[in-house]
Structure 1
Amino acid sequence: MASANMPRLQDEDRTMRIQIILQSLIQRIMLRCQEWVASCAVISNQCRGGWINVMDADILLTKLFLPSVPQGFIRRPRLLDELNTGLKTGKTLTLVSAPAGYGKSSLLAEWITEFKGQAAWLSLDDRDNKVQRFWAYVSEALQTISPSLGQALKQTLSPALEPSGSFNSRPFLTALVNKAAALDRRLILILDDYHVISEQDIHEGLLFLLEHAPPTLGIVIATRTDPPLPLSRMRVRGRLIELRAADLRFNTQEASGFLNELMNLDLDAADVQALETRTEGWIAGLQLAALSMQDRADPHAFIQDFKGSQHFVMEYLVDEVLQRQPEALQRFMLATSILQRMCAPLCDAVTASTGSADTLADLQRRNLFIIALDGERYWMRYHHLFAEFLKGRLKRLRSDELPELHRLAARWFQANDWPEEALQHALAIPDYPYVSRLVVDNWRRIYHTGRLDTAVKWLESLPGDLLRQSPALGVAYCWTLFIRGNYERIALYLDDIEIAFDRMVAAGDLPAEHPEYNIIVHQLSLLRSVVMRHRGQSAEAIQMILDLLPTIVELREILGESYIHMGFTACYSQLGYSYISAKDYDRAEEALSRVSAHARECGNYFSLAHVTMEWSKICLMRGKIVQAEEICRRELSLAEDPELASYPAFCLIQLGLAEVLCARSALDEAERFLDQGLQTAAVSGHQYYLAQGYLIAARLHKEQAKADPVKAGLAQAELRKAEQIAAALQNRFLDEDLARTAEALNKKSPPGQRLIDPLSERELEVLRLICAGKSNQEIADELFLALDTVKRHINNLYGKLDVNRRTQAVMEARRLGLV
């Protein structure tokens, strides 16, 4: 009986084991799906029009997309085996190095489709040749396969932008190594077109990553030239696998499959062998040759005549390919070759046609070197090498059409709210009046979000004389100088701008009833007040702004409601700063308190953030710590809106809040906001506020040094960074803040209280809690005292300090070094 039941029991046991295995596999699949969905959600939430923004660095989403394998591609199992062997044997670096056209990206795309792990892709271009931009892109790429890893890395992108302009990537790289080491699966990071990178700091950072990479992280580099890495040392250590041109070239069998099966040429073995020999297996050459041979009556004769060096072969074949295409298709490819990326509506605009969607589909069908940039094939581009030749031919044959083509592209990008790409094409014309109009129409939006680096790049792409001869451009440039703290340089431009303005008015080019006339009048007055304040003429600056305020309401019908809010935002903020300079803090707070409502209405988040930072400083100085924190947190809550979260302007509030939290001894939270603010200020070009952040960091580290003496050295290091920036800016207000911080850092704690009647230990405890912004009841609760007892201690310490109010007690306590 037992033996009869044995097979059934064995079958049940086998079935149970299979069920357990299947359940485990299902759980693992669900986990991977959850991570993939989370990754997509991260990208989707940040994506708008194919772009995402990180730390004020524009990130092109399609650079992170895993490339799709071309239809009908020739499989290359021998190369896949090489790649898989390197992966299985734990090679740290896979180097795919060969000239253009050897199928590096296509091979890796094929490999990824068969790869059982997770791979992050990053397509590099020459704009990525900056240290902080490069590693920011790496962080975004890794986030596509591991959202938790990507988010963690973003927080460690070091804010340590040195005053010299160099970027310290070591904290980021260390975090990447440590986070990767903790993973339970292997990740692959693929860097495509690495040959565009020449920045030595990037090479050194990559070397650090390769030397310390854990087994869970593999790096793949696709490049036209060998990177400056110690490849021989890596070979000796068995940490490198290489695929080069000799490996990537098509062999005769692969060439035959490509030419006859994929391109349908029906060549005999001798012709395939001849073409493979002449091209040396160069895939792009074979593809171009195949396109040239289509519909030829005698392909054998073409092959026999096909010869020359690689460069001339490429040029010859491009000419042949173009000439073999319909005339309309040739015109389309040449006209659209000016575009770095293209979609059907954009191509319609540039070619003045309506059938670009069909034409793009035709280009894909003909394998004419067009690459899809997204899964929906909405955005596309030409193969870089092919695009270069198309542009060269366009310049040789139809150079007179180039300005109009760029103008059409610029207008399309402008109409579709991509001003930066519109400017690139306008500059390529070059049409400086049109560039000027683009800048004038768009600079406020950039300025209001705090994207200083972009605003400066736009304006400094123009000839210097144009900034002085165009009042609108000159005013825009002066406000970027204001953000940068270069107040004295504003004065160098104002005289020329006013002369140009008067000349335009006298000539009738800018009549008084024109809206721009009133805008420029107001802006020039406000900029004059900035210069006056910096030169110590606070009273004159205040009066100038007070005279300006009543005129703003009168312009509501001419300028519209939005400009009225802009005017009040600018006037009240500058009025508040002038009152601060005059040490009239009550009026300063009154003026600054009016800014937020107007700034929110017109979207001027930079002014809102700047005012918040300055207002919180006044509150701190006057002992109103609770109010300072409330102001900062209220305005910083705006950054919770996904549409506003990426605005660099909010770094000013983060820095201000960090100082407030330091004042109430919440040092850990203060350091967190300080790191966030410094990081954004560094990458967005805010040198003036970066210096202020360094000073806040110095003061924070001084407080931390009471418990950890090592922090004292960090405080001095932050002070030196601020000193170097201050030396370049020559800003009086920054110099004064620098001097106060230096004095505080270098002042030794007094050996005892400098009071005739010293405070008792209990009175010192009460005083410190007052300085932390605590109410009498909160002090009583914290010290377990009766409320009347607290009041008695407060009266006693008031008498000993010779003050009458809490704010006076706070200021006197700080002056004496008691807190």
Structure 2
Amino acid sequence: MSTMGETSLAATKLRPPPPPGQLVRRSRLDDLLDRGVGGQARLVLVSAPAGSGKSTLLASWLAGRPEAVAWLQVEESDSDPVRFWSYLAEAIGQAHPIAANDLKAIVVGSNGDEFVVVTALVNQLAAVAGPLVVVIDDYHLIDTAGVQRGVERLIELCPHQVTIVLSTRIDPPFRLGRLRVRDQLAEVRGADLRFDADEAAGLLGSPALDRALLDQLCGRTEGWAAGLVLAGLSLERAADPGGFIEAFRGDDQFVVDYLRDEFLAAVGADDRRRLLETSILDQFNGALVDAVTGASGGAAWLNDTASANQLLIGLDRTRTWFRYHHLFRDLLRLEAHQAFPERVPGLHARAAAWFEAQGDHGQAIVHRLACGDLHKAGRLLLVHGPRLIAGGQTETLRGLLDRLGEVAKKLTWCALMYGWCEYISGRYARAEEWLGIMLDAAPEGFDQTPSISLRVNIQLARGDVAAALGTARQVSASLMAYSSDLTTAAGAAYAWAGQAGEARRALRLAAEMAAADEIRTAQVLALVYLAVVEFDDGHAASAQSAACTAVDTARRFGLASYHGIAPAYAIRARTGEDPARAHADATHALSLARRASTDLALGFVLTACGDTLIGLGDPAGEPLLAEARAVFARCPDPGIAGRYLARTQSRHGVAEARAGRVAVLAEQLTERELAVLRYLPANLSQRDIASELYVTLNTVKTHCRAIYRKLGVGDRRAAVQAARDLHLL
């Protein structure tokens, strides 16, 4: 999830912020939160505007609670599902002895699929003995629908000893009304967070103010914490506290005007310069401050400033990492762009160089983009992009590539990574377009091997087994030299093409490689395709054993809800002897396959489950076969899956069809018929084939009829698969 350079910075996300120097205990709010955790609440929602003191309240409250605490400080980049769930798993793992590494592997392997991840996380939490409070701070920064659905599902399914606490500026898009009716929601709102006079006195730490002035100040600010903090910055040097309070307001516009005209005007020139220059950073330590400002003594400056100014917030107890209050940061950035706009790109360039030296390529790329150095950002993606893909953070990668704009089309590796992003999102046509863009950008002699895995996966996703088989054969002689991902893809192509020997060799190797590399989804998929091979080969016992191995392995890895194992459940249903279990497996296979499967896998599962249910006397089986027909109709070449459907329809009398594996030719094909046969897997019309062979359209039609008759099939797709069975293709 993180490179070595990111470790210390990422750790600040997983700890509550240390208390400010002027901490105010707010017993009335602590009591509200206590009742939420001590009662039946599944969710404690702290929802209030910026600057209300939400994070400080929660951190100070939790410091006095006996429960274990998992804390996640959300950033804008955490909307990436894999990034969010990985960090949440790590946060929980630090609070309780759960298998966080196993959870993170599931997150990455499923690309952050909320159904898979939440199921695995809830199973882990169910084994937690003691109470646990899980806090997600700044939750309003999450804007991904899948993450929102997952968190709501987590709240619904969490065991009773776990309480979820969300701190946010806006209410999440959950069904809060249902939680209220069930008395499962505790709420702290903006009105609750307003400081009264006694609390304001503690926050300001100013004994000079009498009760009447405190009441007046709370009225001016409406008890808003940020407004009170700003007032406190000036009260000590105000000659007339009463007059100052009379003029002070606590609304947003006043905050901006006040910070600009009063606070920034009052600080020394050196401090003002450092404040403005470091405003380009989201978080910083002393070394980073020095690198960006070109000065020295950054660590001491940060500690001195934080001691005197509550708008600079410490992120760890060692007072190493800091950030500005969001309102303050926004103003500083605005002032920097007005004061020295020509210097801002150079500041970002310095920050990028520092992060790159620390090995944090993600932050380096962000700052390269901010300073407009798109080509350097693109070159850094050559290193960082594959890490993001391997870590499943395709949404993060897509965001970076989008910011590169036209530059991404000129760099082969960026085009390839764009292709992977589109493929993983299910946009196969766009993924194929990016492969074309990659080739257009490629220099002479470019090695296309890195793109083969993506190409095979796209071809299989589109249901074009012939094309996938042709691509896989380019690397079949040296699979040991490639990744488990490519080996799995090649094995899948052979499996769907009915090439059992080649499929077994590639898939067994892929399973071994993935196990060694701990790439669990690749290992599970290899086992699933091995079950498909055994099933197609007609060995029911072997298919049942292989399917059970795939399912059991997936369950051991927490991937029982992963849509990729749907074919294994379907095969186990079709080859099982227990009717009740077969029905349950078929039902589960269908629910998984309908979520995200490719057409080949979906059509196969529909067929196998339809076959099973018809055999069990369930009328729901026949419509599944009709649905499978519709799915395969959009596949250029569905391979053995199409043949299995034809055989199943024939066996159940659902449709007239010639079916079954062709053992021998009824009659040998002529040379001209073989020539036509070789063109059938391609996406060419009969007219196109005639043009390629320099013959008439009628001649090609005549040859096709002869080919179908001799192979014992009724259409072009069946002819292609029969020819593969007989090793004619």
TM-score where L is the length of structure 1? 0.62
Uncovered stretches (5+) of structure 1, i.e. residues with no partner: 1-42, 53-58, 162-166, 499-519, 537-576, 597-606, 683-692, 757-810
Q: Residue 242 of structure 1 aligns with which residue? A: 187
Q: Residue 216 of structure 1 aligns with which residue? A: 161
Are 1:410 and 1:421, in contact at CA under 8 Å, matched by a contact in 2? yes
* Structure 2 counterpart SS, 1:266: coil
Shift of 1:115: 0.3
Distance in 2 separating the partners of 1:70 and 1:193: 18
2:477 to 590, 601, 607: 590
Q: Residue 493 of structure 1 aligns with which residue? A: 437
Distance in 1 separating the partners of 2:457 and 2:72: 47
Q: Residue 63 of structure 1 aligns with which residue? A: 13
For 1:611, give the aligned amino acid. Answer: T
Q: Residue 660 of structure 1 aligns with which residue? A: 530
Distance in 2 separating the partners of 1:616 and 1:143: 35
Shift of 1:494: 6.3
Q: Residue 743 of structure 1 aligns with which residue? A: 643
Distance in 1 separating the partners of 2:118 and 2:195: 38
Are 2:456 and 2:489, in contact at CA under 8 Å, matched by a contact in 1? no
Shift of 1:382: 1.5
Shift of 1:113: 0.9
* Structure 1 counterpart SS, 2:340: helix
* Structure 1 counterpart SS, 2:237: coil
Shift of 1:403: 1.3
Q: Residue 372 of structure 2 aligns with which residue? A: 430
Q: Residue 669 of structure 1 aligns with which residue? A: 549
Distance in 1 separating the partners of 2:11 and 2:303: 22
Q: Residue 678 of structure 2 aligns with which residue? A: none
CA distance 1:588–1:73, change in 2 (3 Å)? closer
- Tell me which moved more, 615-624 or 191-200: 615-624
Distance in 2 separating the partners of 1:482 and 1:654: 20
1:76 to 26, 33, 41: 26
Alignment of 1:696-715 (within 5 A): 697-698=566-567, 701-707=570-576, 708-712=582-586
Q: Residue 615 of structure 2 aligns with which residue? A: none
Are 1:97 and 1:223, in contact at CA under 8 Å, matched by a contact in 2? yes
Q: Residue 470 of structure 2 aligns with which residue? A: 581
Shift of 1:350: 0.9
Distance in 1 separating the partners of 2:103 and 2:49: 33
Identity among equivalent positions (%) equals 31
* Structure 2 counterpart SS, 1:463: helix
2:311 to 366, 369, 376: 369
Q: Deviations over 1:164-191 (max 9, x none)?
A: xxx8634544565565556443222222
Distance in 2 separating the partners of 1:450 and 1:219: 25
Shift of 1:612: 5.8
Shift of 1:352: 0.9
CA distance 1:269–1:255, change in 2 (3 Å)? same
Q: Residue 610 of structure 1 aligns with which residue? A: 486
Are 1:580 and 1:588, in contact at CA under 8 Å, matched by a contact in 2? no
Distance in 1 separating the partners of 2:501 and 2:128: 48
Q: Residue 690 of structure 2 aligns with which residue? A: none
* Structure 2 counterpart SS, 1:99: coil
Alignment of 1:304-453 (within 5 A): 304-307=246-249, 309-317=251-259, 319-439=261-381
Count of aligned residue pairs for this structure pair: 601
Shift of 1:131: 5.4
CA distance 1:623–1:433, change in 2 (3 Å)? closer
Distance in 2 separating the partners of 1:612 and 1:178: 29
Instruction: Please say if 1:169 is aligned against 2:110.
Output: no
* Structure 2 counterpart SS, 1:385: helix
Shift of 1:355: 1.5
2:415 to 461, 474, 477: 477
CA distance 1:397–1:719, change in 2 (3 Å)? same
Distance in 2 separating the partners of 1:278 and 1:417: 48
* Structure 1 counterpart SS, 2:445: helix
Q: Deviations over 1:98-119 (max 9, x none)?
A: 2222211111111111101122
CA distance 1:580–1:277, change in 2 (3 Å)? closer
Are 2:47 and 2:167, in contact at CA under 8 Å, matched by a contact in 1? yes
For 2:517, give the aligned amino acid. Answer: A
Q: Residue 621 of structure 1 aligns with which residue? A: 499
- CA RMSD, 1 decimal: 4.7
Are 2:20 and 2:310, in contact at CA under 8 Å, matched by a contact in 1? no
Are 2:213 and 2:242, in contact at CA under 8 Å, matched by a contact in 1? yes
For 2:548, give the aligned amino acid. Answer: D
Shift of 1:339: 0.8
Distance in 2 separating the partners of 1:152 and 1:534: 26
1:107 to 46, 51, 57: 57
Distance in 2 separating the partners of 1:714 and 1:700: 7
Distance in 2 separating the partners of 1:496 and 1:426: 26
CA distance 1:109–1:318, change in 2 (3 Å)? farther
Distance in 1 separating the partners of 2:509 and 2:450: 27
For 2:191, give the aligned amino acid. Answer: A
1:226 to 171, 181, 198: 171
* Structure 1 counterpart SS, 2:446: helix
Shift of 1:332: 0.9
CA distance 1:494–1:191, change in 2 (3 Å)? closer
Distance in 1 separating the partners of 2:298 and 2:591: 58
Distance in 1 separating the partners of 2:182 and 2:201: 38
Q: Deviations over 1:402-446 (max 9, x none)?
A: 111112112222222222212212222223333344345655676
1:276 to 213, 218, 222: 218
Shift of 1:582: 8.7
Are 2:135 and 2:166, in contact at CA under 8 Å, matched by a contact in 1? yes
* Structure 1 counterpart SS, 2:20: coil
Q: Residue 25 of structure 1 aligns with which residue? A: none
Distance in 2 separating the partners of 1:535 and 1:175: 29
Q: Deviations over 1:746-800 (max 9, x none)?
A: 53397999999xxxxxxxxxxxxxxxxxxxxxxxxxxxxxxxxxxxxxxxxxxxx
- Tell me which moved more, 383-392 or 365-374: 365-374
For 2:42, give the aligned amino acid. Answer: T
Are 1:632 and 1:656, in contact at CA under 8 Å, matched by a contact in 2? yes
* Structure 2 counterpart SS, 1:49: helix
Distance in 2 separating the partners of 1:178 and 1:467: 41
For 1:253, give the aligned amino acid. Answer: D
* Structure 2 counterpart SS, 1:353: coil
Distance in 2 separating the partners of 1:406 and 1:304: 41
Q: Residue 31 of structure 1 aligns with which residue? A: none
Q: Residue 620 of structure 2 aligns with which residue? A: none
CA distance 1:441–1:111, change in 2 (3 Å)? closer
For 1:747, give the aligned amino acid. Answer: R
Distance in 2 separating the partners of 1:463 and 1:182: 47
Are 1:490 and 1:527, in contact at CA under 8 Å, matched by a contact in 2? no
* Structure 2 counterpart SS, 1:377: coil
Alignment of 1:678-717 (within 5 A): 694=564, 697-698=566-567, 701-707=570-576, 708-712=582-586
CA distance 1:522–1:343, change in 2 (3 Å)? farther
CA distance 1:374–1:184, change in 2 (3 Å)? same
Distance in 1 separating the partners of 2:660 and 2:182: 65
Q: Residue 513 of structure 2 aligns with which residue? A: 635
1:141 to 79, 91, 94: 91
For 1:252, give the aligned amino acid. Answer: A
Q: Residue 48 of structure 1 aligns with which residue? A: 4
CA distance 1:490–1:629, change in 2 (3 Å)? closer
Shift of 1:158: 10
* Structure 2 counterpart SS, 1:148: coil
Uncovered stretches (5+) of structure 2, i.e. residues with no partner: 460-465, 535-541, 577-581, 603-631, 653-658, 664-720
For 2:446, give the aligned amino acid. Answer: Q
Shift of 1:222: 1.9
